[in-house]
A and B are shown apart, each in its own frame.
Chain A
């Protein structure tokens, strides 16, 4: 599954589950082995990973994948319903405020020291700018006053593991091909040339930054702090985009990866904020969709693993074992074949071929055809990953997915935008 097929599965699937606030019973452990329940999204809650974890760890692992809103609401209101929570760093503030998760003891993290600077300091290299919004390190450490901050401590709010950069995709059969980091720009989302053929992801904590980056790139407005917009800035931004929408500039919003694929494949859309699996899918369908490397930088996201506030004893220890396993190499290599990065890449390198490492991490042309996790060829020989290497991509992070202080207000403005 892809990272966010969920978004509006929170509309269809989620509704049923949210109401009951309980998951359907699935595999139950009938033996004495400890069982951990993992609540999260389809990005990481994949059956192959669960099987591998059970095989290597000797514990029972239950996955409860769901849509973004669904799992966040569940985790924030019912900590007893999960042991480990896997989602994005922008959900940490909500979970922390809801007192749904407990601090993670660094001493119990076997590979903590291998985790790179992106998660710990907000950047991979010294010259790389720290993106706006809640860069992972800003909310990583547990502070003595009970808040979250970047000051190192012995406890952290989440274990950083899977991450990636997002941008927008465009159909190169219709839109003139741009130059990565030079001419490709978020401004294309508001470009009049693509009037009526633009779509935005239907997630306010993500889509609002796509719109903000586009408006700023077009010179329509500036932000004091795009990562934490004021109500006035939000009003100004939505005034612009709602006007655009009323003029028919946007086809609409997409609510899942398949939906975004359908919109571009059917020709209804030529430029859209997009997730990488959708781009791969479109390319597989023969549609030359290019995942842009905007000159303004990417919108980055950090996958997090959190421990339920109510987790303790043997299951807590099992949860630590599971978290350590995630950084042990195999899962990182597995997820790399789907285009995602792990926070300690070097350990995964041993589990990847040189060709795979060169293509996925170093941004080099594929020396041979590469297979995906489903065993099919996903990368043809000679192909180069858009955006370049891991370092190059994360040296160009404009903003991190963030739940701003104006979250509720944003939701209401988003409603106006969607229905405009």
Chain B
């Protein structure tokens, strides 16, 4: 994450992002708090709603009982105020239910709707009860009484108008009693609601019908009145029969239909109450649980957000601090002069990248300074080396001068001696002897000439014949073998050249001269009658050099002379011809070629001259190859 920030966002945006993240976290916590408390508030609101709805439950329970009580009062007592009360309570209940229906949950709404429907049915049935009762009251209190009065009046009229015979009077007077009994039983029925009174009344009425019909069987002047009485009697019967049916009708409606509706309202109300109680209990639990959950969530959410914020802020901070710390370390190294101080990669272009660029510039300066220092040191070393070389050259020059003076002086002294002798001999006239002595002088002069020639040769090394090229030693030594084969055959010398000698980079004439001097020395000084004199030349690779060894089986050289033999005019065996310059030349040639020469030997064990040549570089070989291919030899001076 940190690297991602570093690689993709500028410093200022990372700082902005950290502030924004903090702001977002704070906002998220506020929102979470709002949501949680809003939820809890919702639960509280629901709880209050349920509490309010429980009031409708209490209202229903109380008022439904009251409405049915008022209904019964109206039914049995006929009080209009009770009927009005029923309608009033009904209206109030419906209004309360309608208000609660608007805000209720589906289950509560369903129950309230059911209650309302039962209430509507109840009230509608009550209106029918009221109507039936009104009809019953009209039938009993008006029609029944009117018809009873009419029948009584007609019977009384019959009594007055009929013959005053005892028989007729006896038949008519009981009719009045029966009619009274009918009326009495009808009202007893209405009071007691015992149907047996109606049966008694019907029986009494039947006897009246029977009596009147019996009277009309006989021819009499009151037939029309009797007919009227029978007609009115039918109406009388019909009025109370209908009154009874209306009574039964409204009794059925109130005791069966309305009672069932009221019970269903009670039942649904109880169900409603149970539901409300249960929901309130659940809501209460939900509030408690919600509070716990809210606190838990807030803590959890807050902790999570805090963790995220810390992580994010840490990442941002780290993404800022890390490159600065790295750059600080870099600058610390740079101030200490480091030219290879690590500069952290910083792909985004911002203030830190400017620092990184500055560090890079600083490092470049340090690199330049270091290089200059190194060059300065190299120059100093070179100067020191040159100085040492100069001193050594001066020493060598002094030695050379001394040696040359000494060795050149010797023939001169010898010549001057012999010239003195010759002069004496000439003075003495001993000319022949003097002339003989001239040969000695000549020899000395020749020797001095040879010395001077050798010195000239020595001085040429490194001054002329400076061109170098790749030299295949196999070819060179093969040529050398050819040119010296006669001499070697003559002295019985064996020249053993190992195969696969290397190629070296050098001046061919000087290298040839080098091997000629070594061969010459070997021929001159190697005397091994037993094994036969021989010189073996081979090569071994050692690190970045070729070591060419030239091993003879001669008498060997004591270690005390291992250095001296490379000195100018130094000769171990003065009996042999030579100027003592060969190995000095060899030494100088090797030096000229960046190599060296030394001897390993002990007395009687032969000697091995080691020639150390640097391995030609690839560039030397490539240049040599190019030169060869173009037919050019490049002078490398």
Contacts and interface: CB of A to CB of B under 8 A. Distances in A.
A419 B263 contact: yes
B241 A98 contact: yes
A411 B256 contact: yes
A252 B252 contact: no
A414 to B, nearest CB: 6
A18 interface: yes
B264 interface: yes
A202 interface: yes
Given A8-B257, A77-B249, A419-B68, 12 more contacts: A8-B260, A11-B261, A76-B245, A97-B198, A98-B241, A98-B245, A99-B237, A146-B206, A253-B260, A408-B247, A415-B255, A418-B256
Nearest to B260: A202
Nearest to A20: B131
12 contacts: A10-B252, A11-B253, A15-B125, A15-B253, A97-B244, A255-B260, A412-B193, A412-B251, A412-B255, A418-B255, A418-B262, A419-B68
Interface residues of A, number: 36
A406 B258 CA distance: 20
Interface string B477-506: 000000000000000000000000000000
Interface in A95-128: 97-99
Contacts of A76: 245
B195 A406 contact: yes
Nearest to B234: A99
Given A18-B132, A77-B246, A98-B241, A12 B195 contact: no
Contacts of A415: 254-256, 259
Contacts of B196: 405
Say whether chain B's binding surface is mostly helix, strand, loop, or mixed.
helix
Interface in B178-206: 193-196, 198-199, 202, 206
A409 interface: yes
Contacts of B193: 408-409, 412
Given A98-B241, A408-B195, A69 B249 contact: yes
Contacts of A19: 127-128, 131
Contacts of B254: 415
B124 A408 contact: no
A294 interface: no
Interface in B62-119: 68
A19 B256 CA distance: 17
A287 to B, nearest CB: 22
B120 to A, nearest CB: 9
B403 interface: no
B39 interface: no
Given A12-B121, A12-B124, A19-B127, A407 B248 contact: yes
Interface in B281-329: none
A203 interface: yes
B242 interface: yes
B128 A18 contact: yes
Contacts of A15: 121, 124-125, 127-128, 253
A408 B256 contact: no
B513 interface: no
A204 interface: yes
Contacts of B121: 8, 11-12, 15
A414 B259 contact: yes
Nearest to A255: B260
B267 interface: yes
Interface of B: 68, 121, 124-125, 127-128, 131-132, 193-196, 198-199, 202, 206, 237-238, 241-242, 244-249, 251-264, 266-267
Given A97-B241, A406-B195, A18 B249 contact: yes
B248 A94 contact: yes
Contact of B256 (A94, A251, A406, A414): A414
The residue in B249, B253, B257, B264 that gathers the most chain A C-beta atoms within 10 A of its C-beta is B257
A103 B193 CA distance: 28
B237 to A, nearest CB: 7
A406 B197 CA distance: 11
B241 A69 contact: no
Contacts of B246: 73, 77
A16 interface: yes
Contacts of A18: 128, 131-132, 249, 253
Given A406-B195, A419-B266, A73 B249 contact: yes
A50 B251 CA distance: 33
Given A77-B242, A99-B238, A411 B252 contact: yes
A83 to B, nearest CB: 19
Between B242, B253, B254, the greatest number of chain A beta carbons within 10 A of the residue's beta carbon is seen for B253
A409 B131 CA distance: 22
Contacts of B237: 99
A70 to B, nearest CB: 9
B484 to A, nearest CB: 130
A42 B241 CA distance: 27
B424 to A, nearest CB: 169
Contacts of B253: 10-11, 15, 18, 69
A255 B118 CA distance: 12
A419 B127 CA distance: 20
B202 A69 contact: no
Given A19-B131, A77-B245, A10 B257 contact: yes
B125 A11 contact: yes
Contacts of B244: 97-98
Interface in A26-65: none
A252 B124 contact: no
B263 A252 contact: yes
Contacts of A409: 193-194
Contact of B195 (A14, A252, A405): A405
A98 B237 CA distance: 9
A269 B194 CA distance: 35
B11 to A, nearest CB: 72
Contacts of A251: 267
Contacts of B248: 73, 94, 407-408, 411
B241 A252 contact: no
A412 B258 CA distance: 12
Interface string A225-265: 00000000000000000000000000111010000000000
A408 B125 CA distance: 18
Contacts of A16: 124
A287 B127 CA distance: 39
Contact of B255 (A10, A255, A405, A414): A414
A203 B238 contact: no
Nearest to A93: B195
B128 to A, nearest CB: 4
A220 B326 CA distance: 102
Contacts of A407: 195, 248
Interface in A350-370: none
A270 B199 CA distance: 42
B256 A97 contact: no
Contacts of B262: 418-419
Contacts of A406: 194-195
Contacts of B68: 419
Contacts of A412: 193, 251, 255
